[in-house]
Amino acid sequence: MRQSSILLATFALALPAFAGAAAAKDAVVGVNVYDEGAITQPQQDAEIDRLAGYGVKTIRTGFSDKSAHFITQTYGYGIGTIGIVYPSGGAP
């Protein structure tokens, strides 16, 4: 009887840890990316490899001609983009 009580207590104490691990597995990891147009395309590709390695699934960045390569390449890794369009970006 004592062994089953210890086993039950151990299971009850460990259950929240398993629930947290399950929730973490389903979490969407996202990051803000800024000024990716200021680095070369090979450097951008290296940064994308790093983001994918960290499990990033979403990036948020400004949408412009300077960010086009970065955004299209992240899509190939299964990383989605939230593109921010600034109203003053295209007007003189």
CATH superfamily, with its number, for domain 28-84: PrpR receptor domain-like (3.40.50.10660)
State pTM to two decimals: 0.65
CA-wise closest residue to 58 among 76, 36, 81: 81
- The Cα 91–Cα 18 span in angstroms is 53
- Grade residue 7 by pLDDT with cuts at 50, 70 and 90: very low
Residue 48 has what pLDDT? 94
Residue 3 pLDDT > 70: no
Tens digit of pLDDT for each residue in 19-73? 555 566 677 788 888 888 889 999 999 999 999 999 999 999 988 888 889 999 9
- The Cα 33–Cα 70 span in angstroms is 10
Residue 4 has what pLDDT? 46
- Domain boundaries in the chain? 28-84
